[in-house]
Amino acid sequence: MAKSDSILAIDIGACSLKLASFSFPATGGLVLQKFAYTEFAGELRDDEYKLAMREALRNIVAEHGFDEKTVYFSFSGQEVFIRFVDLPPIGGDESRIRQVVEFEAKQNVPFPIEEVIWDYQLIGDIADESGIETMFVVVKRDIVEDLTMAVEELGKETSLVDVAPTVAYNAARANGIGEDDCAIILNIGGKCSSLLFIDSGKFFVRPIPIAGFTVTQQISKEFGIPFEDAEELKKKHGFVALGGAYEEPDSEVAATVSKIVRNVMTRLHGELNRSINVYRSQRKGSKPAKLYLAGGSSVMAFTPRFFSDKLKIPVEYFNPFQVVSLAPHIDKEKLAEVAHMFSEVIGLGLRHATECPIEISLLPSTVRKQHELKRKTPYFLASAASLILCMLIFLGAVDHNRKRSESLVTSAQNTLQKTNAMLNKINDAKEKLDAETAGYKTAADLLAPRDRWVALLDELQRILPDNMWLVRIAPASAPVIKTENTRKPSIGGGFSVGSFMGERRGTSKAKATQSNTEWIELKGYSLSLDFNTVTVQILNDRLLKSPLFTNNQKEISPKMQRGLGYNDNLFKFTMVVKLAKPIKR
């Protein structure tokens, strides 16, 4: 394939984009013309991530004026399944090697082979009689197709799709790392870290799910703040706390954040040690002599010192630009701030400029065929080419719409399930609310009459004449009332208010209900100097006017008699009165 004069290299990470345009002089090498870096995602769901990535890619290309048509891009090793397999000696027959590799791929790929895009790389000499070490790189087809579509929506052509660990390895080899002894590169990214072993032509990689987001999540959990606020706190105060006796920072927040960072780095160091042991025992590798740091989350203060103390080997940041020439207009100070994050981009540029130790291609076959068709278009008749192109575009659109429709249906079904689950929770909560409301109403009904007796006593106190007092107030049964002929009172004998209102006598007909009090009995004394103006009549009249008692004269049953023998002016009375509204017991 003829190589273009310039390309745009893009590394699509879990939360950032790195872009660089390279030109390739006739004398050889590669020249950096432009570069850009942006972060675009926090803790997002898959669909949110795709939208955020597309928007960030579109904005950064437009903002920095990347007008190159040919694109090489790589993506995070977090999305890739990398497997190393030792094949038996096969000899130099490439067709037979391909057959064996395809068979091993079907055995080792953890997904249906039609759902993935895969490639392999033979590591070492194929004529080696001890066997061939083979690396398989596998990724879900829809992931690559989505990324390719995001690039080509910008009017560009994707010529190469690679993965971050392999292009970083190519950049390291080009910069002379691992030629004489074993070196490792620890790329601490956003959601995932990658550990590369570079050992005199050997290659081994292991993804580690501990990275910058792990620190942010721990800060968010420790301080009880949202993820975005925790990310800002990490950027402002984040550094690796030093071990042993050292003076903590004045800020308590910074001290806490630094300890969180150290705990996460300690976990990462544990995984790093396990990876080294696996590499040395299973891949027969050498002991690492040096560690290079890379990735956006590796710049926290004291990170090199921490790993140097733990591993007892030199640690420094990986600078991949030693094999790249810089255009005169490049801002070197700005480039130095992000150089440690551009190893993948440099590796992509090297894939175009020269032959690299590891060359993986995950370009979808559909995209490759489309590109080949475009290159052959001039050889066809204009009418035939136009017709075929229209058919391909139509079929592609139908397929895209079908996939999009299926995605929308799946999304709608998921939303419906979540909505139903939420509705069930709401119904459960409503049932609990109804039960609590019923309990509250019962309690309110029980508490409502709690002040009725107090009000009753206050009312009796208000209407009681001054020369009268009560000695008993109690619930009573309804009396049976009989009316007799009136008679005049006799001095010294029984006295009845029948002298001015008719005599009423009665006996209990039924016991008061246990649940309500409708009648009350009043017993007391009245002092009167004038026998004819008995104050019981006054009390009787006031009871009839009170809103708490009956206004029916027939429902008041008074009895009265002359009081104690030594005082003819003292009268004893008993009254059974019906309440206007019964009181619950």
| CA 82 to chain CA centroid, nearest Å | 29
Tell me, what's the pLDDT at 530?
56
| 555: containing domain | 464-584
Would 30 be classed as within a structural domain?
yes
Give yes or no: residues 424 and 572 share one domain: no
Give yes or no: residues 293 and 407 share one domain: no
Give yes or no: residues 491 and 578 share one domain: yes
For the chain, which ranges sit under pLDDT 50?
1-2, 483-513, 531-533, 566
Whole-angstrom CA distances from 310 to 188, 262, 270, 418 are 17, 12, 10, 47
> Residue 84 belongs to what H/E stretch?
strand 81-87
Give yes or no: residues 164 and 189 share one domain: no
Q: How far apart are CA 236 and CA 456, in angstroms?
A: 72
Q: How far apart are CA 258 and CA 328, in angstroms?
A: 40
Tell me, what's the pLDDT at 307?
96
Out of 318, 338, 371, pick the residue that ends a domain. 318
Give yes or no: residues 81 and 182 share one domain: no
Please, what is the angle between helix 365-376 and helix 382-447, to 10°? 150
Give yes or no: residues 154 and 187 share one domain: no
Would 458 be classed as within a structural domain?
no
Domain count, the chain: 4
Give yes or no: residues 143 and 22 share one domain: yes
Out of 318, 345, 360, pick the residue that ends a domain. 318
Alpha helices in 448-512 (DSSP H): 452-463, 498-501
Closest by alpha carbon to 199, among 167, 172, 163?
A: 172
Give yes or no: residues 277 and 323 share one domain: no
> Residue 518 belongs to what H/E stretch?
strand 516-527
Would 459 be classed as within a structural domain?
no
Asked if residue 171 lies in contact with residue 347, where contact means CB atoms within 8 angstroms, the answer is: yes
Tell me, what's the pLDDT at 2?
43
Out of 449, 476, 503, pick the residue that ends a domain. 449
Would 253 be classed as within a structural domain?
yes
Would 520 be classed as within a structural domain?
yes
CATH number at residue 8: 3.30.420.380
Interacting residues of 103 by C-beta distance below 8 A, sequence separation 6+? none
Would 455 be classed as within a structural domain?
no
Would 273 be classed as within a structural domain?
yes
Tokens linked to 563: 């009081």
Tell me, what's the pLDDT at 339?
92
Asked if residue 190 lies in contact with residue 79, where contact means CB atoms within 8 angstroms, the answer is: no
Q: Where are the beta strands (DSSP E) in 322-478?
A: 325-326, 468-476
Give yes or no: residues 520 and 550 share one domain: yes
Tokens linked to 100: 């064996």
Give yes or no: residues 208 and 282 share one domain: yes
Closest by alpha carbon to 556, among 571, 572, 536?
A: 536
Give yes or no: residues 125 and 2 share one domain: yes
∠ CA 256-258-264, nearest 5°, is 105
Would 396 be classed as within a structural domain?
yes
Give yes or no: residues 76 and 125 share one domain: yes
> Which tens digits make up the pLDDT trace of 431-446?
999 998 888 888 877 7
Tell me, what's the pLDDT at 344?
95
HEC string of 258-309 equals HHHHHHHHHHHHHHHHHHHHHHHHHCCCCCCCEEEEECHHHCCECHHHHHHH
